[in-house]
Copies of this chain bind each other. A is one copy, B any other.
Amino acid sequence: MYIGIDLGGTNIAAGLVDEMGQVLFKHSVPTKPERGAAAIVEDMAALVRHFEEKAEDPSEIKGIGIGIPGISNPHNGNVLACVNLGWYDFPLMELLASHTSLPIFISNDATVAAVAELEVSEMGKYHNAVMLTLGTGVGGGVMMDGHMVHGHHGIASEIGHMKVGDGLYQCGCGTFGCLETFCSSKAIIHYANHLLETTEQASVLRSIPSSDIDGEKIFTAAKAGDALADKVVERMVKYLSIGIINVISVVDPEVVLLGGGLSMAGEYLLNRVRVETEKLKFFKSAPIADIHLAKLQNDAGIIGAALYAKLELETQ
């Protein structure tokens, strides 16, 4: 058994998870970042104690995994940057370790979401895989030889910040051209509004207040044949495919999984991405990674964090 903690800007969701990724117990408390980091660490420690009391045999709990909305130093477990929480070079592992003797493993939230997908939905059949989470931003998880890749400075798998073109707006990271400024829900909403404001093209999206346009409405319109929405999806697909091909040029995984809210566009999105990546692939005669949709599930953040601890303990 493992404790998985999904540290978000709104809630700290946690659970006791078995070896197969089943959640045995779960509990969550509000994050309230304004309280300061020490109170959040106290709450995380209390959650750990809670599950130790709940567990039939607490000695069977082997470790704690934590998914954070940011990056961490793989050498000492310090949170390098967690913009939502205002944490920079914060010694999360050291502070939590003063409350528990269990080994603690910290990773990025998109990376642990990839672990949930690969280990539970895909039943551990891939050892070289990449998952892209297409949400408000774009997150990534890279697995190689069964191990999640964090890199030397803790900034591997940050595929959302790959430069893929000349972007329309500055990314939250401070630079331009990041994949997430083309392929996140924020990006496609921004581009849809840009087209609505700068062109006269007819679109069902004009009947919706600008602030109500979201990823789902854009995809619904595109599927129904709306030309402006189609242009928005086309741009997203183009740059997403460049991102996928670029990841392939570095690590060449067996499979690329697309998850996150925008992946709910389903086969419609998948088929367009498959056509575009086929056009972009180098070495026409060589096969490349299959591209699949992630089978999104509840509690992926908790399960992924817990199984991330399991993966790390097994490969130490």
Binding site for B on A (CB under 8 A): 71, 80-81, 88-89, 128, 140, 142, 144-145, 147, 149-165, 171, 173-175, 177-178, 242, 245-254, 279-289
B161 and A252 contact, CB distance less than 8 A? no
- Using Cβ atoms and an 8 Å threshold, which residues of chain B touch A177? 242
- Using Cβ atoms and an 8 Å threshold, which residues of chain B touch A151? 128, 248, 251-253
B287 and A153 contact, CB distance less than 8 A? yes
CB-contact partner of A175 in B164, B247, B281, B285, under 8 A: B281
- Using Cβ atoms and an 8 Å threshold, which residues of chain B touch A252? 149-158
* Nearest neighbor of A247 in chain B, beta-carbon distance: B250
CB-contact partner of A162 in B145, B178, B250, under 8 A: B250
- Using Cβ atoms and an 8 Å threshold, which residues of chain B touch A246? 162-163, 246, 250
- Using Cβ atoms and an 8 Å threshold, which residues of chain B touch A279? 175
B289 and A152 contact, CB distance less than 8 A? yes
Q: How far is the CA of A212 from the CA of B3 in the complex (A)?
A: 66
- Using Cβ atoms and an 8 Å threshold, which residues of chain B touch A156? 248-252
Q: How far is the CA of A147 from the CA of B153 in the complex (A)?
A: 18
